[in-house]
């Protein structure tokens, strides 16, 4: 059985300011750095062998903190990037026009072909996220990887493992530096392949990130 840990990056300045990030970037806040340290302490004895992060700065910073504590190298994987939010990237969430809010809501309300202008569809996101996860199957026997990615991206991945459509209504909350785990296994009582062991665990964190408190 292969166990894969999934971690959302720590709180960023734009998370706290309610600014849309997508594939644009914002540095971790001091709280975000501390959250990453708390993740590292939580998993340090789990035998993590690989720390693999999206190539965006906020995930690389989170992953490096974890990798240093776990004593393994950190490498980047562009397929783990967040959903591209097109023309809404770098915009203040509270200052969108009515039309722009419709575009944004299509990413979370179950619209089959939703896409922000110049952005990415949830189906495209799901395909690259599953591809990144499946590549873990090529790691040496006995590996236990930890992937650091993003809220919408990880939510989409976990939802599709559960059998939902990539564009299904978003009902899985993954807070900053939450930990999820998916396993690839064979079981008499579960479907073969990837299964969800845990999702969105924040028991290791002192308090929720500001962006979640505001929602």
Q: CATH number of the domain at 14, please.
A: 3.40.50.1240
**pTM for the structure as a whole:** 0.95
Counting every residue, how long is the chain?
Answer: 215
Binding residues for substrate: 8-15, 21-22, 58, 60, 82-85, 151-152
User: What is the pLDDT at residue 209?
Assistant: 55
Tell me, yes or no, whether 57 lies in a domain.
Answer: yes
Tell me, yes or no, whether 206 lies in a domain.
Answer: no
pLDDT tens digits for 6-62? 999 999 999 999 999 999 999 999 999 999 999 999 999 999 999 999 999 999 999
Tell me, yes or no, whether 215 lies in a domain.
Answer: no
Looking from the CA of 16 toward its CB, the CA atoms found within 13 Å total 14
pLDDT tens digits for 63-113? 999 999 999 999 999 999 999 999 999 999 999 999 999 999 999 999 998
Containing structural domain, residue 131: 2-201
Tell me, yes or no, whether 80 lies in a domain.
Answer: yes
Q: How confident is the model at residue 206 (pLDDT cuts 50, 70, 90)?
A: confident
Tell me, yes or no, whether 41 lies in a domain.
Answer: yes
Tell me, yes or no, whether 67 lies in a domain.
Answer: yes
CB 143 within 8 A of CB 180: no
User: What is the pLDDT at residue 203?
Assistant: 95
Q: Residue 215: pLDDT above 70? A: no
Tell me, yes or no, whether 212 lies in a domain.
Answer: no
Residue 162's contacts (CB-CB under 8 Å, 6 or more residues apart) are 196
User: What is the pLDDT at residue 136?
Assistant: 98
Q: Residue 195: pLDDT above 60? A: yes
Q: Residue 213: pLDDT above 50? A: no
Tell me, yes or no, whether 208 lies in a domain.
Answer: no
Instruction: Examine the residue annotation and report whether 45 is marked as an active-site residue of this protein.
Output: no
- What domain count does the chain have? 1
SS3 136: helix
SS3 83: coil
Determine which one of 46, 50, 73, 82 is catalytic: 82
Instruction: Examine the residue annotation and report whether 82 is marked as an active-site residue of this protein.
Output: yes
User: What is the pLDDT at residue 211?
Assistant: 53
User: What is the pLDDT at residue 28?
Assistant: 98
User: What is the pLDDT at residue 164?
Assistant: 98
CB 23 within 8 A of CB 56: yes
pLDDT tens digits for 102-158? 999 999 999 998 999 999 999 999 999 999 999 999 999 999 999 999 999 999 999
Angstrom distances, CA of residue 110 to CA of 15, 129, 171, 174: 23, 19, 10, 18
């Amino acid at each position: 059985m292969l166990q894969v840990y999934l971690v959302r990056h720590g709180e960023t300045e734009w998370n706290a300011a309610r600014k849309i990030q997508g594939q644009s970037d914002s540095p971790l806040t001091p709280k975000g750095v501390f959250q990453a340290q708390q993740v590292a302490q939580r998993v340090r004895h789990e035998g993590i062998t690989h720390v693999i992060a999206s190539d965006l700065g906020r995930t690389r910073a989170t992953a490096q903190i974890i990798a240093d504590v776990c004593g393994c190298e950190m490498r980047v994987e562009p397929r783990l990037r967040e959903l591209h939010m097109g023309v809404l990237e770098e915009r203040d969430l509270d200052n969108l026009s009515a039309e722009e809010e419709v575009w944004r809501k299509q990413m979370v309300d179950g619209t089959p072909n939703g896409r922000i202008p110049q952005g990415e569809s949830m189906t495209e996101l799901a395909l690259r996220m599953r591809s990144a996860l499946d590549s873990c199957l090529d790691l040496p026997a006995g590996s236990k990887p930890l992937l650091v990615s993003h809220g919408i991206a990880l939510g989409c991945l976990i939802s599709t493992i559960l059998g939902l459509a990539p564009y299904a209504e978003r009902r899985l909350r993954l807070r900053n530096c939450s930990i999820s785990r998916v396993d690839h296994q064979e079981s008499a009582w579960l479907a073969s392949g990837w299964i969800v062991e845990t999702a969105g665990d924040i028991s290791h964190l002192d308090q929720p990130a500001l962006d979640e408190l505001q929602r």
